[in-house]
């Protein structure tokens, strides 16, 4: 995750990701994928399934293949600057990407057998919208809930590409199996948020700051329904990290930090991460990741 101080003048590209969760005896777990080492975005890092919005996402027959009206999806995102079609395309992108990358199909009546068949159609060259039409599927937009919005800063921290990414949270559909595709992702794991951060701290896996902060946030919840209830009851925070130099080290701060332009906190945990020891760390060490919101 090498960094430089070059200013990126291109606008951020719209993207969407789905944080899939499940309850287990060991606690609530989250699904993570390991990006292929040759990927041009976060290669080798563990991430939530997701990717860029495709122009074709907006061309989907929304009335036939979504279970909510576009206006309702716009209202759920609570972004007044968006139009309804753009809002709906973000949901489509999230559901398309999570299916392409993990094999989990958020569609009404989808079984493991149907998800497997749909995946085979994509691998055979069928487009996502064509697959939905042929199988007469309606996507479960009601099953994913806006959680946060991350906007890459102009000064790069881990990548020279900028994204405006909507993070959704969801419980993994019953009866389906999430796994990596052995193409864009080379490994996958179900793991508790704290355990994932512990693996990062012990240098067993790589994580980028949005994943670090999101996992720290999720660690405050014990059950999936607690996360989903919180998502339904609050507006998704907009998180635009602001990097700066401090004592020769790159620091990335978040809303609520003394150096951030927005003084209202958006997340629990640390308000800044410092790039040192070739990774991002909170100033207070590992336990500082789990500090509640003051």
Angle at 35 between CA 100 and CA 268, to 5 degrees: 95
Confirm if 50 and 34 have CB atoms less than 8 A apart.
no
**84-105 pLDDT, tens per residue?**
999 999 999 999 999 999 999 9
**33-68 pLDDT, tens per residue?**
998 755 555 568 999 999 999 999 999 999 999 999
At residue 262, the pLDDT reads 96
Place 159 in a pLDDT band, splitting at 50, 70 and 90. Answer: low
Per-residue three-class SS string for 16-82: EEEEEEEEECCEEEEEEEEECCCCCCCCCCEECCEEECCHHHHHCCHHHHECCCHHHHHHHHCCCCC
Instruction: Sort residue 248 into left (φ over 0), alpha (ψ -120 to 50) or beta.
Output: left
**Average of per-residue pLDDT values in the chain:** 92
Q: Which of 3-12, 38-47, 163-172, 275-284 has the highest mean pLDDT?
A: 163-172
**How many alpha carbons lie under 13 Å from residue 106 in its C-beta half-sphere?**
29
CA–CA separation, 115 and 134 (whole Å)? 13
User: Does 4 have pLDDT greater than 60?
Assistant: no
**102-155 pLDDT, tens per residue?**
999 999 999 999 999 999 999 999 999 999 999 999 999 999 999 999 999 877
CA 271 to chain centre: 19
Global pTM value: 0.93
Which helix (DSSP H) or strand (DSSP E) does residue 75 occupy? helix 70-77
Q: Locate the domains of the chain by residue range.
A: 13-237
Tokens 């909510």 found at = 68
**200-226 pLDDT, tens per residue?**
999 999 999 999 999 999 999 999 999
At residue 88, the pLDDT reads 97
Place 160 in a pLDDT band, splitting at 50, 70 and 90. Answer: low
Does domain 13-237 correspond to CATH entry 3.90.79.10? Answer: yes
CA–CA separation, 213 and 251 (whole Å)? 14
At residue 31, the pLDDT reads 98
At residue 40, the pLDDT reads 54
């Amino acid at each position: 995750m090498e960094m430089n101080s070059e200013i990126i003048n291109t606008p951020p590209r719209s993207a969407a990701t789905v944080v899939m969760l499940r309850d287990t005896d060991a606690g609530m777990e989250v699904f993570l994928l390991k990006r292929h080492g040759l990927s041009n975005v976060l290669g080798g890092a563990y991430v939530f399934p997701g990717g860029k919005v495709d122009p074709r996402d907006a061309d989907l027959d929304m009335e036939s293949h979504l279970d909510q009206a576009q206006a309702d999806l716009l209202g759920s995102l609570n972004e007044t600057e968006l139009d309804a079609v753009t809002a709906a395309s973000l949901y489509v992108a999230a559901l398309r990407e999570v299916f392409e990358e993990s094999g989990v199909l958020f569609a009404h009546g989808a079984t493991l057998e149907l998800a497997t068949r749909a995946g085979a159609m994509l691998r055979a060259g069928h487009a996502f919208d064509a697959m939905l039409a042929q199988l007469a599927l309606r996507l479960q937009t009601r099953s994913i809930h806006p959680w946060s919005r991350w906007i890459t800063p102009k000064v790069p921290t881990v990548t020279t590409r900028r994204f405006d990414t909507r993070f959704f949270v969801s419980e993994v559909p019953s009866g389906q199996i999430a796994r990596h595709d052995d193409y864009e992702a080379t490994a996958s794991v179900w793991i508790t948020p704290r355990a994932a951060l512990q693996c990062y701290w012990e240098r067993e896996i790589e994580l980028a700051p949005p994943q670090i902060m999101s996992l720290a946030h999720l660690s405050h919840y014990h059950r999936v329904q607690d996360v989903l209830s919180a998502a339904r009851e609050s507006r998704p925070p907009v998180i635009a990290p602001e990097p700066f130099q401090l004592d020769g080290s790159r620091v990335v701060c978040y809303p609520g930090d003394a150096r951030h332009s927005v003084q209202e906190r958006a997340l629990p945990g640390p308000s800044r991460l410092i790039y040192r020891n070739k990774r991002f760390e909170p100033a207070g060490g590992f336990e500082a990741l789990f500090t509640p919101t003051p």
